[in-house]
């Protein structure tokens, strides 16, 4: 990994921590003086990135082991691919790890409400041999993805005119 860009969402404690992190040559910290939509912060981070691959990873997520390598490899092989994780759940009451089904993909209905869609039988057969096999999808987790920076810019980044809580899921 070349550089980590920490984007602080208007929080004094994290700003102080970001200043400490930024003392290394691998971390850059950007801060906002007001609370804004997450997609605006993601675009700001992308604008300051110097690597070929952008990984958008929000801080409220717990990462499992060896999750980043397959995503980076996918984008390295084909810069027009977008890598996204299967999102597992940690139970709030007992912190138990609950694995998500790899047989589903994200989608949305005509009201732009998120929904899970089942993979086709051919797609299910393909991922049985390799869980890192890419699948086509209309929606990804907009807070957890890896993309080539040139392709991200070519797509137009996020649509900055969309102002709604889940805009990061729809705006790419």
Q: Name the residue range of residue 135's domain.
A: 59-143
Residue 150 falls inside a structural domain: no
Secondary structure (DSSP) of 106-133: EEE-TT--EEEEEPPHHHHHHHHH-TT-
Residue 16 falls inside a structural domain: no
pLDDT per residue over 105-143, tens digit each? 888 888 877 788 899 999 899 888 887 777 888 777 767
Residue 11 falls inside a structural domain: no
Residue 78 is predicted with a pLDDT of 92
Query: With bands split at pLDDT 50, 70 and 90, how would you rate the model's confidence at 29?
Result: low
Most confident of 18-22, 54-58, 100-104: 100-104
Number of domains within the chain = 1
Q: Please state which of the ranges 10-14, 25-29, 58-62 shows the lowest mean pLDDT.
A: 10-14
Residue 85 falls inside a structural domain: yes
pTM of the model: 0.70
Residue 114 falls inside a structural domain: yes
């Amino acid at each position: 990994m070349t550089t980590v860009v920490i984007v602080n969402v208007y929080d004094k404690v994290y700003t102080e921590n970001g200043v400490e992190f930024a003392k290394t040559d691998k971390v850059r910290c950007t801060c906002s003086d007001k609370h804004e939509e997450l997609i605006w912060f993601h675009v700001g981070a992308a604008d300051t990135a110097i690597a070929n691959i952008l990984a958008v990873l929000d801080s409220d997520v717990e990462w499992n082991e060896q999750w980043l390598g397959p995503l980076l490899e996918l984008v390295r092989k084909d810069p027009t691919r977008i890598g996204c994780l299967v999102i597992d759940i940690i139970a709030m009451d007992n912190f138990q790890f609950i694995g998500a089904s790899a047989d589903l993909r994200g989608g949305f209905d005509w009201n732009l409400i998120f929904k899970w869609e089942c993979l086709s039988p051919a797609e299910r057969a393909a991922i049985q041999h390799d869980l890192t096999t890419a699948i086509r999808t209309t929606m990804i987790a907009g807070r957890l993805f890896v993309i080539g920076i040139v392709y991200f810019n070519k797509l137009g980044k996020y649509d900055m005119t969309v102002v709604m809580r889940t805009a990061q899921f729809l705006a790419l």
